[in-house]
């Protein structure tokens, strides 16, 4: 194991210590998964990868068009990181909660990997006691899926379907495609059935550990696990529900600029504070750090990319930043520009920043 001593200042924090080329938490992780983990650590020396949720599946006014992307249509290049969603997979449905066919999703993941970009997956699984992931009135849902709980057998079947999907993600040579998996996120908020108002810390930790152990026993060895609370004021609050270093590969955080609530200055300050102590912790624990979700609803500020997002992440060594999806149906909802959108010109300037990495600037991430 190689050692490298690094010292740097981030957001007022001194980060110093011995950095190692640590392995993923899964001792049987595939070679490509191990390579991705090592390269996620290295990429921060070059810059920050840009990511977008569901980018190659749909955008404003279109769905399922091959080789199409709102990001690519604006700036001529794909994101470096592609986010995807598996909600409703647990139910055995053919389409996700966002009405995306899982076979189509699988094909897009394979294509992204073929081009050398990176995939990350979230899972807004239904409340086991009934309703969606956001049906959070109950305080017994997590307890019900743990060993001995009334919904434990059903939950195991949900995990079986999840394992089957991950094991179906294979390249042209039949080898497993590495995935950054982000389950049970924003647990420090109270809007999901696994949130901090819906279960105890002990129950949440058991849920996380049970999931990791179950998937590994099913032969799923192509995952890197992301722990991502929502905006928290302190490192202590961030790690309140942390499952432990043996169960987490990547430290993330979800912070949005809420229109009408957060001023630009507050968003930048909140993001830099959380990212700074998270990066410091990641260096100490030999983990990767990412900005797992962010954005401003309908990108209502035309220079948001260069004047707010960049100021929030500048000089902070995170592997990537990901903004949420551009919905193609229902009420207008987008977090990235599309041709003609007010922030499109500013995004082009953001893309030219030498520290922002898009797909064409990626080094080999799986070697």
What's the pTM value of the predicted model, to 2 decimals?
Answer: 0.94
| Beta-carbon count within 10 A of 351 CB | 18
User: Does residue 300 carry a pLDDT above 80?
Assistant: yes
Q: What percent of the chain clears pLDDT 90, i.e. is strictly above it? A: 91
Describe the chain by its helix, strand, coil percentages, rounded to 5. Answer: 35, 20, 45
How do strand 356-357 and strand 48-53 relate by DSSP bridges? parallel
Exposure b/e, 62-81, CB count within 10 A at least 16 = b: eeeeeeebbbbbbbebbbbb
C-alpha span between 336 and 299 (Å, rounded): 7
Number of domains in the chain: 1
pLDDT tens figures, 201-234: 999 999 999 999 999 999 999 999 999 999 899 9
Domain residues for the domain of 239 are 25-361
Q: Which positions are annotated as active-site residues?
A: 186, 293
User: Does residue 363 carry a pLDDT above 80?
Assistant: yes
C-alpha span between 291 and 256 (Å, rounded): 11
The reply to whether 154 falls in a domain is yes
CB 209 within 8 A of CB 159: no
> ∠ CA 80-44-310 to the nearest 5 degrees?
70
DSSP string, 27-91: TT--HHHHHHHHHHHHHTTT-EEEEEETTTTEETTEES-TT--HHHHHHSS--SEEEEE-TTGGG
CB 67 within 8 A of CB 50: no
pLDDT tens figures, 159-169: 999 999 999 99
Q: How much is the pLDDT for 261?
A: 60
For residues 314-329, give the mean pLDDT.
97
pLDDT tens figures, 243-264: 999 999 999 999 999 865 668 9
**CATH code assigned at 310:** 3.20.20.80
pLDDT bracket for residue 329 (50, 70, 90) = confident
pLDDT bracket for residue 156 (50, 70, 90) = very high
C-alpha span between 212 and 216 (Å, rounded): 6
User: Does residue 278 carry a pLDDT above 90?
Assistant: yes
Looking at 281-285, 296-300, 302-306, 327-331, which range is the least confident one? 327-331
Helix H or strand E segment including 16 = strand 13-20
The Cβ-side half-sphere exposure at 192, using a 13 Å CA radius, reads 19
pLDDT bracket for residue 1 (50, 70, 90) = very low
| DSSP classification of residue 306 | I
The reply to whether 366 falls in a domain is no
C-alpha span between 193 and 40 (Å, rounded): 31
CB 286 within 8 A of CB 246: no
The reply to whether 8 falls in a domain is no
Strand partners, 291: 321
The reply to whether 60 falls in a domain is yes
The reply to whether 246 falls in a domain is yes
| Cβ neighbourhood burial of 241 (10 Å; 0-12, 13-18, 19+) | buried
pLDDT tens figures, 121-130: 999 999 999 9
The reply to whether 18 falls in a domain is no
Average pLDDT over the chain, rounded to whole?
94
User: Does residue 13 carry a pLDDT above 90?
Assistant: no
User: Does residue 331 carry a pLDDT above 90?
Assistant: no
Q: How much is the pLDDT for 24?
A: 98
Q: How much is the pLDDT for 340?
A: 97
Q: How much is the pLDDT for 34?
A: 98
Q: How much is the pLDDT for 15?
A: 43
The reply to whether 367 falls in a domain is no
User: Does residue 174 carry a pLDDT above 70?
Assistant: yes
pLDDT bracket for residue 12 (50, 70, 90) = very low
Q: How much is the pLDDT for 3?
A: 37
The reply to whether 15 falls in a domain is no
DSSP string, 133-162: TT----SSHHHHHSTTSTTHHHHHHHHHHH
- Count the residues in the chain: 367
pLDDT tens figures, 51-110: 999 999 999 999 999 999 999 999 999 999 999 999 999 999 999 999 999 999 999 999
């Amino acid at each position: 194991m190689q050692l490298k001593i690094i010292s740097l200042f981030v957001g007022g924090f001194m980060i110093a210590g011995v950095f190692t080329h640590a392995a993923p938490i899964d001792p049987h992780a595939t070679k490509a998964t191990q390579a991705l983990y090592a390269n996620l650590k290295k990429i921060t020396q070059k810059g920050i990868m840009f990511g977008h949720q569901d980018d190659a599946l749909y955008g404003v006014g279109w769905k399922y068009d091959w080789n199409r992307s709102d990001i690519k249509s604006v700036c001529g290049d794909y994101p470096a990181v592609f986010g995807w969603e598996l909600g409703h997979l647990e139910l055995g449905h053919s389409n996700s909660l966002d009405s995306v066919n899982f076979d189509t999703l699988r094909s897009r993941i394979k294509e992204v990997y073929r081009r050398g970009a990176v995939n990350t997956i979230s899972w807004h699984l239904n409340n086991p006691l009934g309703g969606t992931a956001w049906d959070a009135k109950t305080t017994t849902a997590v307890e019900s899926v743990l060993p001995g709980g009334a919904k434990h057998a059903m939950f195991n079947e949900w995990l079986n379907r999840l394992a089957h999907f991950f094991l179906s993600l294979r390249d042209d040579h039949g080898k497993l495609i590495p995935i950054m998996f982000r389950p049970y996120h924003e647990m420090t908020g109270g809007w999901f059935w696994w949130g901090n108002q819906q279960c105890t810390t002990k129950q949440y930790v058991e849920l996380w550990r049970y999931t990791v152990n179950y998937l590994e026993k099913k032969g799923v060895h192509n995952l890197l696990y992301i722990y991502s609370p929502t905006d928290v004021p302190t490192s202590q609050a961030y790690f309140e529900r942390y499952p432990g270093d043996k169960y987490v590969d990547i430290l993330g955080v979800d912070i949005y600029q809420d229109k009408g609530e957060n001023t630009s200055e507050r968003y930048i300050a909140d993001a830099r504070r959380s990212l700074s102590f998270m990066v410091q912790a990641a260096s100490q624990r030999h983990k990767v750090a990412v900005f797992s979700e962010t954005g401003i609803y309908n990108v209502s500020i035309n220079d948001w990319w260069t004047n707010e997002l960049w100021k929030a992440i500048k000089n902070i060594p995170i592997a990537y930043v990901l903004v949420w999806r551009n919905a193609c149906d229902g009420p207008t909802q987008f977090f990235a520009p599309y041709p003609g959108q007010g922030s499109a010109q500013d995004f082009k300037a953001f893309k030219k920043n030498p520290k922002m990495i898009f797909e064409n600037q990626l080094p080999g991430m799986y070697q």
